[in-house]
């Protein structure tokens, strides 16, 4: 293993690297943990759904404009100006300042802005835009059937544009070799990375009319190989067998045949090896890892991310009485090697604040989640513990069919610090004010006898704007003592959060070197006032007196306004309808949901899970296109009602609009609740025939050819916009 410890051998021996990484990180590791979530929790309970626009890989912003291809290419263009001799440039998201294609001509086209705008929805203090660009490579390659590209976290975002430095198809051999050498890639690696990039998507007439002349392809795109939506080595095999249609090999613009120039540079030696598909996979996993690990000097990356077997979530202490604390949280258990069916219980065994064994806590199943290659089950708990002896750490004990296994976080136990924590039960997020803000009132509980005064920080995200990356504004303020209980003193702090920023805002409470951090403002609108036994404060703290449902905070909340997380269930007695809308990046236009007289507006990807059917769900999609027609449908079954109104571009567009009535009919006529994704869709108008993914289906053909099996339904305007399916 020791030989694996140098960076050089990491790169040379990919397998060795994976072996090393098998000794999993110690929790908590903030940046690693956030990226691990985004990488692993694609679907199900607590899903982050980062790969939403990549599943299936055929998703296109407009026909012929591959989203996966855009993600992969964005990473290359960001890295390409790297200069390994000066240590300047590399994967640092500087492409976010280089969108003006009059200056950076290589960044013409919408893919860069769209990819970055999508990533910016996931940006926060623990997920830099540059790490998200790296994650986009992992997700796009994997979603399209390619290998796992190992991902390390910790990249730091640029604050300004970098050098110009993306190769041009017209560059001659010497210039190309020199440019890749500047990036740290020798000739063979150059050939490999181009061969590993040019398998998704293709060349667009709009950006490269001399390479793919207008009107010579049905969608305005000359694909690199015959499987533009599969991450495979056909770009190489078709080049070698002479059947290639790759415009960068055989296009009419002879000077721009850069792939031909690159692939043939060593007499086809490198690409011939990659004609073996296993070799292509291994090579691409390694060379794309090198591409995303080409970072500015001084950036320290974490270990390669592998899933934790056991990972805690939302650990929270609250003071409930003088003598007791409420300890609540969730444990994510990886069910890949240990099937869920073999688990008879998951328990926590905890130590008190003096390190003495203090008891066992039972958990209940909350739900399942999955990533591309892993499955997980979440277990939840909440229990009262002694305020006097409290808690310092726990281990997780799984009772399996084969015996008992203890997960001890690499021998350290999972730490729980009880010196300061947000008293979430008595903290509030107030209603929307005339000023356009909501008041966050944060209560912190500080262990008596702790030195120093606590403070509170709020980290607001300043959203990405065109040609600028998103940033974080952190403001820290002291907290005011309110009152005290036997073991804890309560402090209060407030901040007026602009309503548009509430979702992404995180807060911390800290005292000395202790902190309860990176917490979401998912606080109740009204909470009990603090009532303390001890003296020393001003008595009861004031909290907001009224609670109103604001559209901002309730769009993914079930009808009765419960702030609890929704749990997707497949219990056949409960109808679960999941409505998925594309992110604004790919689906401009608000989506409105009404249920039980309440209206929810979703402006970004939203999963609305309704568990109290029979119910009515209606949604409206507005597309700001010139001529419009309106369709209204209402269908009733004994179990539920789904009504829909769409306003879409008129049927005179190239692609016919799929009426929602088909979706509704198909959905309501299906008796099964479990076969989502089994349908098949076909298109007869020569546009695209999309395979159906397990999660969702796209449909990009004409109206007459719509054919749905199972209960998968999709409809579209002039491009893909949304899909509806039943779980
Ligand atoms: C010699 C180096 C390279 C040159 C000259 C080059 C050139 C091009 C050109 C001209 C296009 C067409 C863009 C358009 O019309 O929209 C393209 C597309 C693409 N390139 Fe490269 N490229 C190079 C290396 C790479 C590398 C190293 C990667 C990633 C590893 C990559 C990934 C892609 C992808 C995924 C697309 C398709 C984008 C889409 O379908 O929207 N390229 N490249
Ligand atoms: C190709 O078509 C686009 C519009 O589709 C037009 O803007 C462009 O000028 C055309 N280019 C050529 C070379 O004809
Ligand atoms: C490389 O492969 C291409 C495509 O098959 C072929 O035209 C060319 O002659 C090959 N070059 C060499 C040096 O073998
Ligand atoms: C604790 O769990 C019980 C059921 O086990 C639930 O009713 C209660 O709402 C939970 N409380 C918190 C604060 O999560
Ligand atoms: C906050 O998040 C919810 C659900 O994810 C979303 O529907 C809502 O539009 C978001 N609010 C804002 C202001 O972005
Ligand atoms: C916090 O609020 C709850 C009601 O939500 C109340 O019962 C409790 O006394 C409050 N906690 C403290 C420490 O005052
Ligand atoms: C509110 O949710 C609870 C479960 O949390 C459910 O039992 C109840 O029926 C719901 N009420 C309404 C009005 O939907
Ligand atoms: C960048 O992309 C976003 C999201 O797709 C879009 O709203 C915005 O108008 C784009 N900006 C430009 C200048 O293209």
Cis peptide before 286 (omega within 30 of 0): no
Residue 258 has pLDDT above 70, yes or no: yes
Query: How high is the pLDDT of residue 150?
Result: 98
Query: How high is the pLDDT of residue 635?
Result: 24
CA of 615 to the centre of ligand 4 (A): 26
Mean pLDDT of 658-672: 37
Assign 64 a pLDDT band (cuts: 50, 70, 90): confident
What residues line ligand 8, using a CB cutoff of 6 Å?
A: 113-114, 117, 466, 585
Domain residue spans of the chain: 56-303, 310-418, 421-520
Mean pLDDT of 166-193: 97
Query: How high is the pLDDT of residue 426?
Result: 93
**Cβ distance 342 to 400 under 8 Å?**
yes
Nearest Cα to Cα of residue 722 among 691, 700, 690: 700
Residue 475 has pLDDT above 90, yes or no: yes
Higher pLDDT, 392 or 614: 392
Which ligand has its closest atom nearest to the C-alpha of 468? Answer: 8
Mean pLDDT of 700-710: 28
Nearest Cα to Cα of residue 246 among 294, 291, 194: 194
Nearest Cα to Cα of residue 559 among 612, 509, 603: 612
Query: How high is the pLDDT of residue 15?
Result: 32
Judged by DSSP in three states, 610 sits in strand
Place of tokens 């899903």: 47
Query: How high is the pLDDT of residue 558?
Result: 34
Provide the mean pLDDT of the chain: 76
CA of 205 to the centre of ligand 2 (A): 8
582-623 pLDDT, tens digit per residue, is 222 222 233 444 444 444 443 332 333 333 322 333 333 322
Which ligand has its closest atom nearest to the C-alpha of 593? Answer: 5
- Torsions phi, psi for 559 (to 5 deg): -50, -40
SS (H, E, C) 509-577: EEECCEEEEEEECCCCCCCCCCCCCECCCCCCCCCCCCCCCCHHHHCCCCCCCCCCCCCCCCCCCCCCE
- The reply to whether domains 310-418 and 421-520 share a CATH topology is yes
Nearest-angstrom CA–CA distance, 299 and 678: 45
Structure pTM? 0.75
**Cβ distance 578 to 609 under 8 Å?**
yes
Given 1.10.420.10, 1.10.3720.10, 3.40.30.20, 3.40.50.300, which CATH number is that of 56-303? 1.10.420.10
Q: Taking the mean position of all CA atoms in its chain, how far away is CA 407?
A: 27
**Cβ distance 725 to 698 under 8 Å?**
no
Nearest-angstrom CA–CA distance, 183 and 178: 9
Does 214 sit in the ligand 2 pocket, CB within 6 Å? yes
Query: How high is the pLDDT of residue 533?
Result: 57
Q: Which atom of ligand 3 is nearest to the CA of 267?
A: 13
What fold is seen in the domain 421-520?
Answer: Immunoglobulin-like (2.60.40)
Residue 303 has pLDDT above 70, yes or no: yes
Query: How high is the pLDDT of residue 604?
Result: 31
Lowest-pLDDT range of 84-93, 342-351, 629-638: 629-638
Higher pLDDT, 519 or 715: 519
Place of tokens 């994997």: 142
Nearest Cα to Cα of residue 691 among 702, 703, 681, 705: 681
Lowest-pLDDT range of 15-24, 202-211, 360-369, 489-498: 15-24
Higher pLDDT, 672 or 228: 228
Query: How high is the pLDDT of residue 273?
Result: 98
Question: Which tokens is 609 given?
Answer: 């899970």
CA of 561 to the centre of ligand 7 (A): 9
Nearest-angstrom CA–CA distance, 690 and 680: 8
Mean pLDDT of 653-681: 32
- In the CATH scheme, what architecture does the domain 310-418 have? Sandwich (2.60)
Nearest Cα to Cα of residue 513 among 452, 596, 569, 424: 452
Nearest Cα to Cα of residue 687 among 641, 719, 652: 719
Does 383 sit in the ligand 4 pocket, CB within 6 Å? no
Does 264 sit in the ligand 3 pocket, CB within 6 Å? yes
Mean pLDDT of 6-35: 60
Query: How high is the pLDDT of residue 559?
Result: 36
Lowest-pLDDT range of 514-518, 667-671, 678-682: 678-682
Residue 694 has pLDDT above 70, yes or no: no
Mean pLDDT of 332-346: 94
Mean pLDDT of 265-283: 98
Residue 479 has pLDDT above 80, yes or no: yes
Maximum CA pair distance of the chain? 86
Residue 10 has pLDDT above 70, yes or no: no
Query: How high is the pLDDT of residue 62?
Result: 80
635-644 pLDDT, tens digit per residue, is 222 122 222 2
Query: How high is the pLDDT of residue 23?
Result: 67
Mean pLDDT of 108-125: 95
């Amino acid at each position: 293993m020791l030989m694996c410890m140098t960076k050089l051998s990491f790169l040379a021996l990919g397998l060795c690297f994976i072996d090393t990484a098998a000794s999993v990180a110690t929790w908590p590791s903030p940046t690693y943990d956030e990226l691990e979530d985004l990488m692993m929790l694609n679907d199900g309970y607590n899903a982050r759904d980062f790969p939403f626009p990549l599943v299936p890989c055929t998703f296109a912003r407009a026909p012929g404009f591959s989203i996966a291809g855009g993600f992969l290419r964005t990473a290359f263009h960001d890295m390409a100006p790297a200069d390994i001799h000066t240590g300047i440039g590399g994967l640092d998201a500087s492409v976010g300042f280089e969108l003006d294609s009059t200056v950076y001509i290589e960044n013409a086209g919408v893919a860069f802005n769209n990819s970055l705008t999508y990533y910016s929805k996931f940006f926060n203090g623990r997920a830099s835009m540059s790490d998200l660009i790296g994650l986009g490579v992992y997700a796009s390659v994997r979603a399209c059937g390619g290998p796992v590209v190992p991902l390390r976290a910790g990249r730091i975002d640029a604050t300004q544009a970098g050098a110009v430095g993306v190769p041009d198809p017209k560059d001659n051999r010497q210039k190309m070799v020199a440019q890749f050498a500047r990036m740290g890639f020798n000739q063979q690696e150059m050939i490999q990375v181009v061969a590993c990039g040019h398998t998704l998507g293709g060349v667009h007439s709009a950006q490269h009319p001399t390479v793919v002349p207008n009107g010579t392809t049905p969608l305005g795109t000359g694909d690199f190989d015959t499987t533009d939506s599969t991450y495979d080595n056909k770009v190489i095999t078709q080049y070698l067998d002479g059947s290639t249609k790759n415009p960068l090999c055989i296009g009419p613009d002879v000077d721009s045949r850069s792939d031909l120039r690159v692939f043939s540079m060593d007499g086809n030696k490198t690409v011939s090896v990659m004609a073996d598909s296993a070799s292509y996979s291994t090579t691409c996993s390694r060379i794309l890892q090198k591409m995303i690990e080409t970072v500015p000097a001084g950036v320290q990356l974490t270990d390669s991310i592998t899933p934790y077997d056991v990972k805690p979530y939302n650990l929270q202490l609250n003071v409930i009485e003088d003598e007791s604390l409420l300890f609540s949280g969730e444990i994510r258990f990886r069910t890949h090697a240990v099937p869920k069916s073999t688990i008879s219980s998951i328990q926590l065994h905890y130590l008190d604040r003096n390190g003495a064994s203090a008891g066992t806590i039972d958990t209940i199943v909350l739900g399942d989640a999955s990533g591309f290659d892993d499955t997980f089950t979440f277990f939840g708990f909440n229990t009262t513990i002694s305020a006097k002896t409290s808690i310092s750490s726990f281990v997780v004990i799984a009772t399996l069919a084969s015996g008992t296994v203890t997960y001890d976080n690499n021998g350290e136990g999972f730490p729980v610090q009880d010196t300061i924590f947000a008293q979430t039960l008595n903290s509030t997020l107030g209603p929307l004010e005339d000023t356009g803000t909501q008041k966050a009132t944060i209560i912190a509980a500080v262990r008596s006898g702790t030195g120093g005064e606590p403070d509170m920080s709020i980290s607001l995200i300043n959203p990405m704007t065109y040609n600028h990356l998103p940033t974080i504004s952190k403001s820290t303020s002291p907290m005011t003592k309110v009152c005290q209980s036997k073991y804890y003193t309560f402090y209060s702090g407030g901040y007026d959060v602009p309503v548009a920023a509430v979702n992404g805002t995180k807060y911390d409470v800290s005292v000395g070197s202790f902190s309860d951090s990176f917490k979401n403002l998912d606080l109740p609108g009204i909470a009990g006032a603090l009532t303390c036994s001890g003296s020393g404060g001003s008595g009861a703290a004031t909290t907001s007196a009224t609670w109103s449902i604001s559209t901002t905070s309730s769009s993914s909340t079930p009808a009765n306004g419960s702030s609890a997380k929704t749990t997707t269930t497949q219990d056949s007695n409960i109808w679960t309808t999941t409505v998925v809308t594309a992110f604004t990046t790919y689906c401009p236009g608000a989506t409105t949901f009404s249920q039980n007289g309440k209206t929810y507006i979703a402006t970004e990807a939203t999963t609305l899970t309704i568990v109290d059917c029979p119910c009515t769900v209606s949604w409206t999609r507005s597309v700001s296109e010139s001529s419009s027609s309106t369709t209204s449908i209402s269908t009733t079954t004994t179990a539920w009602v789904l009504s829909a109104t769409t306003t879409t571009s008129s049927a005179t567009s190239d692609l016919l609009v799929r009426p929602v009535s088909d979706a509704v009919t198909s959905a309501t006529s299906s008796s099964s609740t479990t076969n989502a994704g089994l349908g098949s869709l076909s298109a007869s108008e020569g546009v695209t025939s999309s395979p159906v993914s397990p999660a969702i289906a796209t449909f990009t053909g004409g109206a007459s050819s719509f054919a749905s099996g199972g209960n998968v339904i999709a409809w579209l305007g002039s491009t893909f916009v949304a899909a509806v399916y039943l779980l």
